[in-house]
Amino acid sequence: AGARVAGARVAGPGLVGVVRGRWTATEAPLPGTAAVSPSPGVRQLTCASVGSCVGVASFTDTSGNRSGVIEQLSYGRWKATPAPVPAGTPADAQVVLSSVSCPSTRSCGISGYLDTADSRRPEVLTLRDGRWTAQAAPLVPGTESESSTSLSSISCPRPGRCVAVGRYQDGEGHFQGLIEIQSGSRWRARRAPLPADAGPDPVGGLEWVTCPAAGRCTAVGAYVDNQGSRQLSLDVTAGRTWTSFTAPLPADAASDPVAYLGYVTCRKAGNCLAVGNYVTSLGAAEGLFERQIAGRWRAMPAPVPADADPENPAATIKEASCPTVYFCAATGAYRDANNASRASLLTLSNGTWGAVSAPAPVGDESGRYLSGVSCPSAYRCVADGSTNASGMFETYARGRWTVTVAPLPGSGFHAVFLSTSVSCPAARMCAAFGSYTKHNGTRPQGQGLLETFSAR
């Protein structure tokens, strides 16, 4: 199945072009061990180059357990590989693959974790010479024996030089941030540093990491300070040294801002954008931008569309993409004046952020949700998400966003795309990884959905 995208002239500084093409849908292939209704939990997709993409997900197998699957696009075809697990993993362990990063078409790293009856343990997978291998990620000395330890994100700037982040429980049961560092085939674990005002039980953790170069990484997370307030942390490394500091907040933030950062992107070291939300002194939930320019971080509330609830828009920013210093795009969510759930699309141009309500498919007045966004170049972006009825792609060109309903592979309905699920290595090619409900008589099936955009 396919959906045509109207030709659009893309206008912006240094870029004028026409992009025409089609989205094509494929039911995600799964290993033979998959249940009839595998209900895949999709976590991330990335494309190292045009036509070469890797996505990770978990699915229900015939034993009722959750197993991992790696979806790879090569030579125009999607192939599913059962995700290996570390030696000694119990047969009934529940597998979650959380993130994937591929510095080249032949090298990738995957982070994840394994749930057993009495603990949660982290794992890392590596693609090298066409073969996937899995190993248990090392634990920080002093980790509680039945610790809930997980990895939420991985970034690999070079083959064999990955960094994964997450959280673990120390010997006193307190949650701490976790950093796993790869050097060749060896991994080492360390506790993430915390700002000086962290409380005795910091309830710490790192949500996302990005490494624009080996030894230059930025990770975002949160912690509880010594006054009992939830604050934001920025952990950065230069070489082997990791440092942590409290992220700034807008002037109207509450004393306990209940702040959150869930994603960070860096064009290069010292030039990053982190996104999330915070609570103001008046109790309103606002979207948050933390932008780093020339090494200095500044915070600002994210704008909301004109129809947002003026008293409390219940806003958040989910993901961002910055192909240049001067242009970024972001996805968000907010509540309008009629208390309806809406999606926002934001762009940074000429130093100013603007926000619009995401256009919806014709005749669809249901709730709107956006998740991932990828900009292969300035003034050319694709975001993905869904309404209550269908999946959708939002394309930015010529200064405006237009919507395309995500096609489905034959009989089905209600496609859903979650965060970090779209990747566009070039304007002429994108891929997205989601899920949809497939008709199967009286018992619909939850299946994976792979979409590719190819220019004509």
Residue-level pLDDT at 245: 95
Q: What pLDDT does residue 19 have?
A: 66
User: Do 329 and 321 contact (CB within 8 A), yes or no?
Assistant: yes
Q: Tell me what the mean pLDDT of segment 31-48 comes to.
A: 97
**pLDDT digits 0-9 by tens, 72-109:** 999 999 999 999 999 999 999 999 999 999 999 999 99
Q: Which of 160, 166, 159 is nearest to 190 (CA)?
A: 166
Measuring CA to CA, which residue among 356, 345, 354, 425 is closest to residue 385?
Answer: 345
Is residue 141 a contact partner of residue 149, using CB atoms and an 8 Å limit?
Answer: no
Query: Is the Cβ–Cβ distance between 12 and 327 less than 8 Å?
Result: yes
The answer on pLDDT for 8 being more than 50 is no
If you average pLDDT over residues 185-201, what whole number do you get?
96
Each residue's pLDDT tens digit, 274-290: 999 999 999 999 999 99
Check if the beta carbon of residue 155 is closer than 8 Å to that of residue 165.
Answer: no
pLDDT on residue 20: 80
Provide the pLDDT for residue 17: 40
Instruction: Decide which of 411 and 396 is more confident.
Output: 396
Model confidence pLDDT, tens digit, residues 298-327: 999 999 999 999 999 999 999 999 999 999
Q: Is the pLDDT of residue 18 over 70?
A: no
Indicate the pLDDT class of residue 411, thresholds 50, 70 and 90.
Answer: confident
Q: pLDDT tens digits for 127-183?
A: 998 999 999 999 999 999 889 999 999 999 999 999 999 999 999 999 999 999 999
Query: So what's the pLDDT on residue 309?
Result: 97
Return the pLDDT at 3: 42
pLDDT surpassing 50 at residue 64: yes
The pLDDT score that the predictor gives to residue 12 is: 32
Summarize pLDDT for 232-273 with one digit per residue, the tens: 999 999 878 999 999 999 999 999 999 999 999 999 999 999
Report pLDDT for 99: 98
Residue among 434, 446, 456 at smallest CA distance from 25: 434
Q: Which are the contacts of 241, defined by CB distance < 8 A and separation ≥ 6?
A: none
Q: How confident is the model at residue 209 (pLDDT cuts 50, 70, 90)?
A: very high
The residue-averaged pLDDT of 288-298 equals 94
Stronger pLDDT, 19 or 396, i.e. the higher one: 396
For 263, 286, 337, the CA distances from 317, given in Å and listed in that order, are 9, 9, 19
Q: Is the pLDDT of residue 1 over 70?
A: no
pLDDT score of 410: 85
* Residue percentage of the chain with pLDDT more than 90: 88
User: In the structure, what pLDDT confidence band is assigned to residue 297 with cuts at 50, 70 and 90?
Assistant: very high
Q: What percent of the chain has pLDDT over 70?
A: 96
- Mean pLDDT for the stretch of residues 324-334: 96
* Res 350: pLDDT: 87
Nearest-angstrom CA–CA distance, 162 and 185: 10
**pLDDT value of residue 365:** 87
pLDDT digits (tens, 9 = 90+) for 415-434: 999 999 999 999 999 999 99
CA angle 107, 111, 117 (to 5 degrees): 145
